[in-house]
């Protein structure tokens, strides 16, 4: 990856970092393509057990699409491209068999909030602000964010945030359930909390995490049969046998051992 998106991986924990602080980490065409490529890379790498998505600096997580560049492209084909690239990338995030953590290091506006809705867990600094700002630009969400927001917060809350395009702080985001944890201490405090969560998730049985995530994102009518199939498959899997052995032997389980 070039400087627009930084991607790193260590001990099974991958980090996708939007690296455009001068533009408040807004995604231009190049950054969008690289963001999507990074997600595809994770999807094809079985060594990755957790993915962290964040931005560079302390002022912004992601400020949506780069309006400075996008304003030069009023043609419908540009809208189709913008919708296609990021909608597919964010849908793939929800389909990854691993937990995806959003480390919200600063403001998440517009498309930045849509990215949050595609992450499984969200931790924010106490200074972060949020805004579904699309209607301010005479637009609606374009990256699949409305359906995911309704699923996360319900229709009434989604209507409030999408129609008013109001700015709200991290504490309110936590109260409504958009983020699970708010931490003090800026970038250092955020990194500590996110790394602790990532490490704890990476130590859990991977197949069970994948099954739980698949169930959560399944259509409601498919959940029952899918749950039965996944549960039966996991019962005789090595990680569950290890959990049973550890219980009998009164020791911590060691997951991931073939």
Give the pLDDT confidence of 3-31 residue by residue, as tens digits. 899 999 999 999 999 999 999 999 999 99
Nearest to 106 by CA among 72, 42, 61, 153: 61
pLDDT of 256 above 90: no
The whole-angstrom separation of Cα 95 and Cα 83 is 18
User: pLDDT tens digits, residue range 117-148?
Assistant: 999 999 999 999 999 999 998 889 999 999 99
| 153 touches 178 (CB < 8 A) | yes
At 92-104, the pLDDT tens digits run 999 999 999 999 9
Residue 212 has pLDDT above 60, yes or no: yes
Residues 191-202, mean pLDDT to the nearest whole number: 98
For the chain, where do the domains classified as CATH 3.90.226.10 start and end?
A: 5-202
SS3 165: coil
**SS3 letters for the chain?**
CCCCEEEEEECCEEEEEECCHHHCCCECHHHHHHHHHHHHHHHCCCCCCEEEEEECCCCEEECCECHHHHCCCCCHHHHHHHHHHHHHHHHHHHHCCCCEEEEECCEEECHHHHHHHCCCEEEEECCCEEECCHHHHCCCCCCCHHHHHHHHHCHHHHHHHHHHCCCEEHHHHHHHCCCCEEECCHHHHHHHHHHHHHHHHHCCCHHHHHHHHHHHHCCHHHHHHHHHHHHHHHHCCHHHHHHHHHHHHCCCCCCCCC
For 146, counting Cβ atoms within 10 Å of its Cβ (0-12 exposed, 13-18 middle, 19+ buried), the class is middle
The Cα 122–Cα 155 span in angstroms is 20
State mean pLDDT over 63-71. Answer: 82
For the domain covering 5-202, report its CATH number.
3.90.226.10
Which of 62-66, 101-105, 183-187 has the lowest average pLDDT?
62-66
pLDDT at 219: 85
Tokens describing residue 248:
């009998």
What backbone torsions phi and psi does residue 146 show, to the nearest 5 degrees? Answer: -65, -50
Q: How far apart are CA 43 and CA 97, in angstroms?
A: 8
Percentage, residues of the chain above pLDDT 90: 82
HSE of 156 in the Cβ direction (CA atoms, 13 Å)?
1
């Amino acid at each position: 990856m070039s400087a627009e998106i930084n991607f790193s991986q260590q001990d099974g924990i991958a980090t996708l970092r939007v690296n455009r602080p001068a533009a408040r980490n807004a995604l231009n065409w190049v950054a969008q393509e690289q963001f999507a490529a990074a997600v595809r890379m994770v999807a094809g790498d079985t060594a990755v057990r957790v993915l962290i998505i964040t931005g560079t600096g302390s002022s912004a997580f992601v400020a949506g699409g780069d309006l400075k560049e996008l304003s030069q492209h009023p043609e419908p084909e540009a809208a189709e491209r913008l919708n296609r690239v990021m909608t597919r990338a964010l849908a793939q995030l929800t389909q990854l068999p691993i937990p995806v953590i959003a480390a919200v290091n600063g403001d998440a506006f517009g498309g930045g909030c849509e990215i949050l809705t595609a992450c499984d867990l969200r931790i924010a600094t106490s200074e972060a602000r949020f805004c579904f700002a699309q209607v301010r630009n005479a637009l609606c969400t374009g990256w699949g964010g409305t359906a995911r927001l309704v699923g996360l917060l319900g229709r009434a809350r989604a209507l409030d945030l999408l129609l008013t395009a109001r700015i709200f702080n991290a504490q309110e985001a936590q109260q409504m359930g958009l983020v699970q944890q708010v931490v003090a201490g800026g970038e250092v405090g955020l990194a500590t909390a996110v790394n602790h969560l990532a490490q704890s998730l990476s130590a859990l049985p991977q197949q069970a995490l994948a099954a739980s995530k698949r169930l959560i994102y399944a259509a409601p009518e498919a959940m029952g049969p899918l749950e039965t199939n996944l549960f039966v498959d996991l019962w005789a899997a090595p990680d569950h046998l290890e959990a049973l052995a550890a219980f009998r032997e009164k020791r911590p389980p060691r997951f991931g051992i073939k």
